[in-house]
Chains A and B, each alone.
Chain A
Amino acid sequence: MYDFAYHKPSSIADAVKLLTDDPDAKPVSGGMTLLPALKHRLNQPTALVDLSGIAELRDVRREGDALVIGAMVRHYEVATDPQIMAAIPALARMASTIGDTQVRNRGTIGGSIANNDPAADYPAAALALGATIVTDRRSIPADDFFLGMFTTALEPGELVTAISFPIPEKAGYAKLRNPASRYSMTGVFVARGPKGVGVGVNGAGPCAFRQAEMEAALAANWSVEAVAGVKQAPDDLNSDIHGSAEYRANLVTVMAKRAVADAG
C-alpha cells in the first residue's frame, strides 16, 4: 500500500470534519474491502479515518417498532446480539454466513451498507425490511440509498451512523455462494412486516434490488408456491465465469423459495 495519514477520531463530528476537510481521505470501519484494495495499490487515499474509536456507532437499541444497529456493529455481533436474534433472527442468521470468522470479527454492517458491493449480503435485507439508513446529517430510506454498483446516495464526507430496521413479523434469507469468493452469487431476503412484504435480491444484479412481482405474489399468498412460479428476467443481471445471467435469474426464484421456507 502507499503511504497515508491515519486518524482515529472519537466522535462523529470529528470524523466528518476530517473527511470534509480532505476530500481524498477515506473512512475505514472493518476494512474488509478497503484494506485489500490498499494492499493491491488499487486505491490511494491521503488519509484513513478509522471509525472504531467512536463509541456511539456501536449501539444496538430498540426504538419503538424498529431495531437500530450502529454502523460499527460487527457481523459477529449482529449474528450473536440477543436483541437482534430476538427481533430479526433472519438478519442475525444472515450475518453469521458472511465471509469467515476473521471477516465477521472485523467487518461492520455500516461498512457493508456504505460500500454497496453487489455481492454483499446486507443491502438485500435493508431493502426487504424497508430499513432506513441514518447518516450524520439525514435519514435515507433503503429504496433511495442503493443507487448502483458500489454507488449509494451518500454525499462526499457523509457517514453512515446506523441502520434502522422495522421489526418484521417474519423474515428469511437464502443464498448461493460464489464457489471461489464465497460472496453471494445470488441471495434473496424476504420479509413481511409493518410496511408490507419485501423481497430483496443481492448478487444477481449490479446492485441489490427489490423483486416486485415476488412481493405481490407473497402479499397475496405467503408461501413457497407463490414465489415458485415467478421468473426473474435475466436482462441486466450480472454474468461472469461463475454464473451466467440466466443462471442467476434462476437462482432468484430458487433462493426466494428457500428464503420463504426459512422464514416459515
Chain B
Amino acid sequence: MNVTKPVGAAFEGIGASVRRKEDLRFLRGRGRYTDDLSRPEQLQAWILRSPHAHARILSIDTAAAAAMPGVQAVLTAKEAEADGLGGVPCGWQVTGKGGQVMAEPMHPVLASGKVRHVGDPVAMVVAETKAQARDAAEAILVEYAPLPALPDMAAALAPRAVALHDEAPGNLCFDWEIGDKAATDAAFAGAHKVVRFETTNNRLVPNAMEPRAALGEYDPNADEYTLTTTSQNPHVIRLLMGGFVLKVPEAKLRVVAPDVGGGFGSKIYHYAEEALVTWAARRVGRPVKWTCERSESFLSDAHGRDHVTRAELALDAEGRFLGLRVETLANMGAYLSTFAPAIPTYLSATLLAGCYTTPAIHGQVKAVFTSTVPVDAYRGAGRPETTYLLERLVDVAARETGIDRIEIRRRNFIHPDQFPYQTPVALQYDSGDYETTLRLALEAADHAGFEQRRAEAKARGKLRGIGISTYLEACGIAPSKLVGQLGARAGLYEVANIRVHPTGSISVFTGTHSHGQGHETTFAQLVAEQLGVPLGSVEIVHGDTGKIPFGMGTYGSRSLAVGGAAMVKAMDKIIAKGRRIAAHLLEASVEDIEFGVDEAGGRFRVAGTDRTKSLAEISMAAYVPHDYPIEELEPGLEETAFYDPKNFTYPGGCHVCEVEIDPETGETQVVNFTACDDVGRVINPMIVEGQIQGGLAQGIGQALLEGTVYDSEGQLLTASLNDYAMPRATQVPSFGVSTAVTLCTHNPLGVKGCGEVGAIGSPPAVINAVVDALRELGVTHVEMPATPLKIWSIIQGKGGALSAATA
C-alpha cells in the first residue's frame, strides 16, 4: 500500500506521536468506570471474607444479619450449591511428568466446607446501602476450626504437611518438565565450568489504580443478564462465568467492561465476585453492585510472581553457554486462577534460552498450593521471572569466569543471521538484533564514562554501580494450535469487525480491551492511515460483548500484534469489496481497480486513469444503492476478520541501570536508566514510550520496593499501602528510552508488542547494578526487593549477601 503524508495536515498515521484521544475524558475526570455507573433500584454488596488462612467452616448463622435494616439477601455456599453454581474455572491444563494431569481442585464462588486463604469469600450481603451490607456482614456468625496455615511453599511441601485440597495430596498441583534432560546432562558432563544460582522472584501485589468492581443486572422480561465489570477481556468472562459458573447461555448474558483504570494482568481473570453480583441480581430482582476497597484488593486480587528457582549453567573455556538446568517451585496460592498454571511453564520455562545460543536446556517446574491469595499473571507473567534468573545468572557467570559482563553476553548472543532460531525449549524466534540494542543502549547510557561517575560518587560517599540486562520475551499470545498443544483450553486469536458507514466514517469493533494502553488512538491511527480517512473519522469500540462479535481481550502485549493484525485482515476485505463496487460504478473490471491513499484520502482508481471513487463514495453506494450489482454483491461495507498468529512475537532489547547506594542508610537511588527496546514497528512512539516507562517503573518497584510478606499464620503483613511499598515519582529517574526495530516476520504489521518489555527487562538490570555497586564488599547477590534494611544489613555483614548465590 502506497502511503503518502497528506499535504497541509498534521501527520497522524503510523509513526506519529498523536496525542491520546481518550485523555480528554480521563484528564477531566470524565471517564466512566464501573463504580461510576449506578442503576435505578441498585443494591450494594459486601463480601464477608475469611480471617483465617486455613480453617474448617463448622457453621454459618446468617439469621441475625438477614434481619438487619436494608438487607435484601445473605448468600453463602449453601445458596450457591442449591442454585447449582459451578466453581470458578481455570483456563489452562498442565500435563506433568509421566502424563500426570495437574490437580485441579474446585474453586467455589463462596467458601464451601473450608476457607483456604485470608480473604477467601465466605458470604455476600446485599443491602440498600454499602454501610448496611457491611453492618450485616459483621452480624454473620461463622464458626471456624482453624487448621495449620501453609503460608509459603516450604511449609506446603514439608513432609506431613496438611493438604489444602483433598484433590492435591502433598499440596502439589503438578510436576512438569521441558527440554532434553539427557542432552543437558551430557553438556554439563563436558563443561569447563558450572555456575550455580538460586533466587526467589518476589511476590507482588498488582495494585491497579482502579479497584475491581462489578455490577450485575437481570431483566426478568427477557431473562437476560448484564454484568459490568473491571475486566481486560469481557468475552472471556462471559465464556467462563456463563459457561461454567452460572450456566447462562451467551445469548442471555452481556458482559461490559467500560473504562478500566489499569489491569496489569490482575483484571484478566474471572473472579467470584463477578458471578456473585450477577447471580444475586437475579435472586433479588434488582441490580447489585460491588466495589472492592483497597485493603480488600490486597486480599482478593490475584498476586504475581512468587517463584523459587535453582539454576545451573555449564560453560566452556571461552565462556560459551553449553547447558542450562533450572528447577522452579511456583506458588499457585490457594486456588488455580484463570492463567495460573501457564505462567511458570509455557510463559516462563519456554523462554529459558533468552537471547542466547545455549544448545541444551532442561527445566522443571513444581506448582504448589499454599494458603495464600491465588497467584497469576502480572505484567510480564513468567517472562520477568525467567529474564531475572537468566540475566542475574549471566552476571554471576561473568564474575566467576572473569569475563566481562558485556563480553560474555556478546559471545552467546543469537546473531541476526541465525533467524529463524529454534530454541531447545519449544519456541522458534523469528527476528531480533540483540547486538544492536546492546550497543545503542550502552552508547546512550555513556557506559564508557561510567568509571568516572563511580569515582565522583565515591568522593561523595556514595557507592555507584551499573548493571545491564539483555533480554528477550514472547508476546502476542497466541498461536492457537501451539498453545492448545501446551494446554490452553481456548485458542487465543483475535477478532476485528470494521464498519464503514455510509458517509465514510468508520467504527472498529475490537475484541481487545484498552485499560490504559491508548488503543482508541493507536488503532485509529492504523485504520485511518490504511483506509485513507482522517483520524477523527475512526471510532474504536471495545469492551462490550453486546457490540463486538468475539475477542480474547488484552494481556501478554497482544493487542496490536494480534488485534491489530485482525484489523488489517478486515481492512483487506473492506478494500476487496470496495474494489468490486468501484468496478461496477466505474464500469471497469475488478482486476483494473486499485486502492490507494493520496492527499485526498483513500481512493479506488481505474489503473492508469484519473477515474476514481473515494472510499466515502463507495460506502454511500454500498448502503443506499440505486445502481448496484445487487445480484452478485450484497450491500453494506462491513467486514469481520479473525486473526490467529502464526507464532509468538519476540521483543528484546537492552536495559542499562545506574544506581547510587547510600552506605549509611542502605538506600538505593536509581540515578540513570537507559532502555533500547526492539518492539517491532511502532505506530505511536509517544504511547510506546509511555508503556515502556510505566513498565520500567514497575520493574524498579519489583527490584527495590515491592515485597509481599505473609507471617507464619498466613496473615498478610503487607496488606495495605502502609506496608506494601509502591514506586513513587521520586524513586524513578528520568528515563532514557529508545527503540531499534527489527520487524516481526509473520504478522502483517511487523509489530511485536511493547506493554511488558519495561517490567521484564528492568529488574535484573537494577539488581546487577546494585551488586556492582557493592562489589568491593564482596557481595555477589542481593535478593529482591533490595530494600534499605536489606542492603544496610549486607553492608554490615549481617547476612543476605551470599545466601542466594552459591558458587
Contacts and interface: CB of A to CB of B under 8 A. Distances in A.
B787 A179 contact: yes
A244 B789 contact: yes
Interface in B709-763: 709, 717-718, 721-726, 728
A254 B795 CA distance: 15
A250 interface: yes
B792 A247 contact: yes
B724 A242 contact: no
B785 to A, nearest CB: 8
A137 interface: no
B667 A176 contact: yes
Nearest to A179: B725
B634 interface: no
B665 interface: yes
Contacts of A40: 295
Interface residues of A, number: 18
Interface string B533-560: 0000000000000000000000000000
Interface in A1-50: 1-2, 40-41
A254 B792 CA distance: 12
Given A179-B788, A180-B705, A180-B724, 6 more contacts: A179-B705, A180-B723, A182-B728, A242-B787, A247-B789, A254-B664
B793 A247 contact: yes
Contacts of B718: 180, 241
A40 B134 CA distance: 11
Nearest to B134: A41
Contacts, number: 48
Contacts of B722: 180-181
A243 interface: yes
Nearest to B792: A247
A254 B665 contact: yes
Interface of A: 1-2, 40-41, 176, 179-182, 241-244, 246-247, 250-251, 254
Nearest to B798: A246
Contacts of B796: 246, 250
A98 to B, nearest CB: 15
A173 B139 CA distance: 48
User: What are the 7 tightest A-B residue pairs by CB atom distance, in nearest-first order?
Assistant: A180-B725, A179-B725, A254-B664, A181-B722, A180-B723, A247-B789, A243-B789
Contacts of B792: 247, 250
Contact of B789 (A2, A41, A181, A242): A242
A100 B721 CA distance: 14
A251 B662 CA distance: 12
A244 B725 CA distance: 17
A181 B665 CA distance: 17
Contacts of B724: 180
15 contacts: A40-B295, A176-B667, A179-B705, A179-B725, A180-B718, A181-B721, A181-B722, A181-B723, A182-B728, A242-B787, A242-B789, A243-B788, A247-B666, A247-B792, A250-B792
B492 to A, nearest CB: 36
B571 to A, nearest CB: 47
A180 B44 CA distance: 32
Interface string B655-682: 0000000001111000000000000000
A251 B787 contact: no
Nearest to A181: B722
Interface in B50-84: none
Nearest to B785: A179
Given A179-B788, A250-B792, A241 B665 contact: no
B752 to A, nearest CB: 34
Nearest to A244: B789
Contact of A241 (B135, B295, B709, B788): B709
Contacts of A247: 666, 788-789, 792-793
Contacts of B135: 2
A241 B295 CA distance: 18
Contacts of A254: 664-665
A250 B788 CA distance: 12
A218 to B, nearest CB: 19
A23 B14 CA distance: 68
Contacts of A244: 789, 793
B292 to A, nearest CB: 14
Interface in B390-437: none
Given A176-B788, A242-B789, A244-B789, A251 B717 contact: no
Nearest to A251: B665
Contacts of B709: 241
Contacts of B793: 244, 247
A179 B791 CA distance: 13
A79 to B, nearest CB: 17
Nearest to A100: B728
Contacts of A251: 665
A192 to B, nearest CB: 23
A2 B724 CA distance: 27
A243 B798 CA distance: 13
Contacts of B131: 1
A180 B796 CA distance: 23
A250 B728 CA distance: 25
A247 B666 CA distance: 10
B222 to A, nearest CB: 39
Contacts of A242: 723, 787, 789
B667 A241 contact: no
A151 B725 CA distance: 28
A249 to B, nearest CB: 11
A176 B668 CA distance: 12
A244 B793 CA distance: 9
Interface string B104-148: 000000000000000000000000000100110010000000000
A12 to B, nearest CB: 32
A247 B667 CA distance: 12
B665 to A, nearest CB: 5
